[in-house]
Amino acid sequence: MRAMEQHNTEAVARALDRFAIELPSWGFANTGTRFGKYLQPAAAVTVEEKLADAGQVHELTGACPSVALHSQWDLPRGTADVETIARAAAAAGVRPGAINPNLFQNQEYKFGSLANPDPLVRRRAIEHCLEGALLGAALHSRDVSLWLADGSNYPGTANIRERKRWIEEALIEIHRALAPGQRLLVEYKPFEPAFYHTDIADWGMALHYARTAGPQAKVLVDTGHHYQGQNIEQIVAWLLDEGMLGGFHFNDRRYADDDLTLGSIDPYQVFRIFHEIRFFEWETGATADIAYVVDQSHNLKGKIEAMIQTVVMAQALYAKAALVDHERLAAAQRATDLVAAESCLQDAFATDVRPAVAEWRAFRHLPADPLIAFRHSGYLERITRERGGRQPAGASAYA
Ligand code: LRH
Ligand code: MN
């Protein structure tokens, strides 16, 4: 094997050894759009089924040992569900991941949650987040991952400054309740479901709120939560340099928050994000403390297959980013040799890492092609039989 191939194979193996991506429990359930939900008979309904399906993806890819949980969907009875989750996760060979409080589904959140003009609603929203921190501690999961749908639809209908202060007060109180080692991740989104203003609309606002909350708060970047044309990897570079990048929600999109399969539309986008992280680590010698999480809804594709595609694509793009020659890149940047610098990224991105990834899988007794292995496993046929007969959960809610 030529020297370059050997170097690449070792670099890919080192990179994949330290790459893990967390799967969303809600990615295995029937989800839809405001125009409806196409039900899949094999879709998971119970949290045990969501964890089992995630366990299947981990068993085939070796790269997704934890599952993000949405408190209202997965722990409707709060602490009373902790034992069930812990046992089901262990049975599925995965561990509970980030706790996502749900501050958007209840009727009382019509005019907001932490930013609702009604102090009683704000109080209840804070209590729900405090419970989320407790659930996380009980499940030994590290992150409380907070997204607010809060905002307004018409000019003049909300006091934006007052809402800002309510959210600051709430996040300070929630941060105070974190156990040592726990983190509060603040996720931003420019619009939807609010279509005039959103209270945490961009990375700058999320950065401000995280700093205001306290040292255990960081910013979460959902790749689908940006205006068209926004340079996401520049935001990533900034947050890295500020020590405030806590994690990602990965998905892909053509238009808005489409929640499509990672790398299905613009794989070079994810590669550029991974590059900024690897380049930061090379330059600083530090390991970026980042939670990689998938946040997708598979309305048309088979849910487990789409998740396997996602993990395989994430591994491939992370491996490619590990092949960028940082020495050569830094020299070309300093020399303003634009073409040489750009080629460092393009050469790595153009490298076919599949043979090296297949070798990494073989070495770990993982199937060479997880998707083919899944299709031959009979798992889908079995769960379709087991789950198919029942009336799928209502076609109304998101998940
Ligand atoms: C909001 C969001 C958030 C989740 C939800 C399922 O668009 O990205 O992270 O809670 O999707
Ligand atoms: Mn998200």
For the chain, 399 residues long, the average pLDDT of each consecutive 10-residue run is 80 97 97 90 97 98 98 96 98 98 97 98 98 98 98 98 98 98 98 98 98 98 98 98 98 96 98 98 97 96 98 98 98 98 98 96 97 98 91 52
pLDDT at 304: 98
Q: Write the residue with the smallest CA distance to atom 9 of ligand 1.
A: 147
pTM of the model: 0.97
The CB of 187 under 6 Å from ligand 1? The reply is yes
Which residues, in sequence order, are CB contacts of 76 under 8 Å at separation 6+? none
User: Rounded to the nearest whole angstrom, what is the distance from the C-alpha of residue 329 to the centroid of ligand 1?
Assistant: 36
For residue 399, give the ligand 1 atom closest to its CA: 6
The pLDDT value given to residue 393: 53
Ligand 1 lined by 295 (C-beta under 6 Å): yes
Retrieve residue 7's tokens.
Answer: 């170097």
Structure token pair of residue 324: 């960028």
CA of 259 to the centre of ligand 1 (A): 9
**163 touches 150 (CB < 8 A):** yes
Backbone phi and psi for residue 247, each to the nearest 5 degrees, phi listed first: 180, 180
Dihedral of CA atoms 21, 25, 28, 30 in degrees, nearest 10, equals: -140
Report helix, strand or coil for 247.
strand
Residues with Cβ within 8 Å of residue 7, at least 6 apart in sequence: none
Query: For residue 33, what are the β-bridge partners?
Result: 36
Structure token digits, residue 170 = 């709430």
Single-letter amino acid, residue 44: A
Residue 5 confidence (pLDDT): 81
| Distance (Å) from CA 398 to ligand 1 centroid | 10
The finding on whether 95 has its CB within 6 A of some atom of ligand 1 is no
The residue assigned the tokens 């790749």 is 223
Task: Identify the pLDDT of residue 32.
Answer: 87
Token code pair at residue 267 = 């794989």
Which residues does residue 221 pair with via DSSP β-bridges, in sequence order?
248
CB of 94 closer than 8 Å to CB of 66: yes
In the prediction, which pLDDT does 2 show? 65
Best residue among 34, 144, 187 to mutate for probing ligand 1, ranked by most atoms within 8 Å of CB: 187
Is ligand 1 within 6 A of the CB of residue 259? no
Strands 143-147 and 66-70, sheet pairing? unpaired
